[in-house]
Amino acid sequence: MSNRSSVTEFLLLGFSDVRALQVLHFVVFLVLFLAALVGNLLIISTIVLNRCLHTPMYFFLGNLSILDLGSISATVPKSMANSLLDTRSISYPVCVAQVFLFLVFISTDLALLTIMAYDRYVAICQPLHYERVMNRRACVHMATSAWLAGIVYSVLHTGNTFRLPFCQSNVIDQFFCEIPQLLKLACSDSYRSEVGLLAFGVFLAVNCFAFILVSYVQIFRAVLRIPSEQGRHKAFSTCLPHLTVVSLLLFTAAFAHLKPTSSSASNLDLMVGVLYAVVPPMLNPVIYSLRNKELKAALKDLMGWRLFSSK
């Protein structure tokens, strides 16, 4: 294909050409999608309806659940529909929208996780200043800044990617539209600016990771100075879910984008895509609900479990 105007659709990589396996893929993705949908909606509903959870930590957690819902909804439904209809095509506008939305949610997710690390740092290392520093106005401003930064970053990436001429092919070696795979389709002399923008994105991600790492070094030093074992356990219990979620997102994304690229499609590309695009949004609600006693109690109240347990 000689230029971009000739590309009207892309072909996504399917998990199998066997009909039975296509149906199995649809069922598995449907289960994962529904699990992420139910888990994140439960957390959002619990935080909104329970006044005891109207604190900065749960405010950011509610935003994180919204981002998880958005990221998995941007990629999985189209893949499910393709498997069910036995097709691989995705139109050019839908591919643009998929790239834009997925980047918005993923980049905002990382920014929000960095803010949540700062929230835990202030709560544990500077508890006397917590209410002044993490007041309602400051939390809203931080969350809004994270969303705006994610949108701006996504606009730059999406616009810079789809202005490129695609002269190699229209076959994307992934189950959703992904920028690294799209760059493989671009003309070899025209995608350097987008590679530079990707490098800048990696630089920002490394800085976020470094900020989170430094925050947790300070947090662990402060926790170890707490005299009571119960106090140390409580402090660790509020930090461990966040640290687990950060590790899950960063390590899966790093493995996906830093692994050696291959010229041909492979099952490893698909599995890596699932690993960082589907697994974190599904597991995050489980991680937070299992390790947080306040959230578990609020979930039981919301679902009416307290009535049955009292009986």
pLDDT tens for 128-164 read: 888 898 999 999 999 999 999 999 999 988 988 888 8
pLDDT at 111: 92
The answer on pLDDT for 233 being more than 60 is: yes
pLDDT at 5: 44
pLDDT at 99: 93
The closest of 121, 91, 78, 101 to 217, measured between CA atoms, is 121
What Å distances lie between residue 168 and 12, 95, 118, 190, 195, CA to CA? 15, 17, 45, 12, 17
Half-sphere exposure of 189 (CA within 13 A, CB side): 0
Paired residues of 9 in beta bridges: 91
The answer on pLDDT for 205 being more than 50 is: yes
The model's pTM is: 0.85
- H and E: helices and strands count for the chain: 12, 3
Strands 9-12 and 89-91: antiparallel
The answer on pLDDT for 27 being more than 80 is: yes
The answer on pLDDT for 124 being more than 60 is: yes
- In this prediction, what percent of the chain has a pLDDT beyond 70? 84
Taken as a whole, the chain contains a residue count of: 311
The answer on pLDDT for 1 being more than 50 is: no
Where in the chain are the domains? 4-310
Class of domain 4-310: mainly alpha
Cβ pair 55, 267 in contact under 8 A: no
What Å distances lie between residue 97 and 55, 159, 179, 226, 237, CA to CA? 34, 11, 12, 49, 38
- Distance CA(134)–CA(109), nearest Å, equals 19
- Which residue has better confidence, 9 or 239? 9
pLDDT tens for 12-22 read: 887 878 888 88
- Distance CA(120)–CA(192), nearest Å, equals 39
pLDDT tens for 168-196 read: 678 888 889 988 888 888 776 656 666 67
Classify residue 128 by its DSSP letter: G
The answer on pLDDT for 248 being more than 70 is: yes
186 φ, ψ to 5°?
-80, 160
For range 202-223, the mean pLDDT: 85
The answer on pLDDT for 307 being more than 60 is: no
pLDDT tens for 71-81 read: 999 999 999 99
Paired residues of 11 in beta bridges: 89, 171
For range 32-57, the mean pLDDT: 89
Indicate the pLDDT class of residue 207, thresholds 50, 70 and 90.
confident
pLDDT at 69: 94
- Share the mean pLDDT of the chain: 82
The closest of 36, 35, 51 to 301, measured between CA atoms, is 51
